[in-house]
C-alpha cells in the first residue's frame, strides 16, 4: 500500500511540475525592429509564474539562426551583454525581460523585422515544457549606457562567423 501511495504521489508531482507552459503567462511581448543587415535583434516580455519555481533554459525563433538568453552586467564600469544559461522564475513571482536587462537575443536574423509584424518565439522551460508566443515588432530605442559592449567571451559563434556586435 505504501509503495502504491508513493508511486501515485510521484506521478502526481511529476505531472504538476511538468507543466510550466500552462502555469507561466506572458504579458506584453515585443521584439525590436531590425533589418536583416543589422544581424541581431531582441525580444522582451513579462513572465508571470503561477506555479512552482521553474526557469527558462532556452528559446528559439524561426527569424534567427541562433537564439540565446542574455543579461546586462557591469564589468569595471562598462555595461556588457552576456549569455546566460537560464532565467529563474520564482514560484508565484514575475520577471521582466526589458531593454538594458534580461532579454531573448535573436542572432543572425534571417529576415527584416518590420514594425507591425509579429514573430514567433518559443520559450523552453527547465521542466521540459515549452510555450510559443507571438511578439509584435516595435521600434525600440536602445538604452544609452556609457561604454556598452557586447561581450563575446564564452559564446559559441561557430555558426555565426559574420555576426556583428550591436
Tell me, what CATH number does 113's domain have?
2.60.40.1890
Model confidence band, residue 15 (pLDDT cutoffs 50, 70, 90): very low
pTM: 0.75
CA atoms of 75 and 80, how far apart (whole Å) = 7
| 4 in a structural domain | no
| 154 in a structural domain | no
Q: Which domain holds residue 119?
A: 20-140
Is the pLDDT at 101 greater than 80? The verdict is yes
What percentage of residues in the chain have a pLDDT greater than 90?
64
| 98 in a structural domain | yes
| 24 in a structural domain | yes
C-alpha cell at position 155: 559564446
- Tell the residue number behind the cell numbers 533554459, with chain if given: 57
Domain count, the chain: 1
| 160 in a structural domain | no
Dihedral of CA atoms 153, 166, 58, 118 in degrees, nearest 10, equals: -170
| 151 in a structural domain | no
Mean model confidence pLDDT for the chain: 82
C-alpha cell at position 64: 534567427
What would the pLDDT profile of 50-61 be if each residue is shown by its tens digit?
Answer: 999 999 999 999
Instruction: Identify the DSSP state of 141.
Output: P
Amino acid at each position: 500500500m505504501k509503495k502504491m501511495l508513493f508511486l501515485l504521489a510521484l506521478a502526481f508531482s511529476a505531472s504538476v511540475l511538468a507543466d510550466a507552459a500552462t502555469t507561466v503567462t506572458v504579458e506584453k511581448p515585443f521584439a525590436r525592429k531590425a533589418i536583416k543587415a543589422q544581424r541581431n535583434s531582441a525580444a522582451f516580455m513579462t513572465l508571470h509564474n503561477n506555479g512552482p519555481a521553474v526557469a527558462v533554459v532556452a528559446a528559439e525563433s524561426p527569424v534567427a539562426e541562433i537564439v540565446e538568453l542574455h543579461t546586462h552586467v557591469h564589468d569595471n564600469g562598462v555595461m556588457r551583454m552576456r549569455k546566460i544559461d537560464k532565467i529563474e522564475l520564482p514560484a508565484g513571482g514575475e520577471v521582466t525581460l526589458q531593454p538594458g536587462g534580461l532579454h531573448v537575443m535573436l542572432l543572425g536574423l534571417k529576415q527584416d523585422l518590420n514594425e507591425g509584424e509579429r514573430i514567433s518565439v518559443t520559450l523552453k522551460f527547465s521542466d521540459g515544457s515549452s510555450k510559443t508566443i507571438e511578439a509584435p515588432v516595435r521600434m525600440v530605442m536602445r538604452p544609452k549606457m556609457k561604454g556598452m559592449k557586447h561581450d563575446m567571451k564564452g559564446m559559441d559563434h561557430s555558426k555565426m562567423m559574420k555576426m556583428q556586435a550591436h
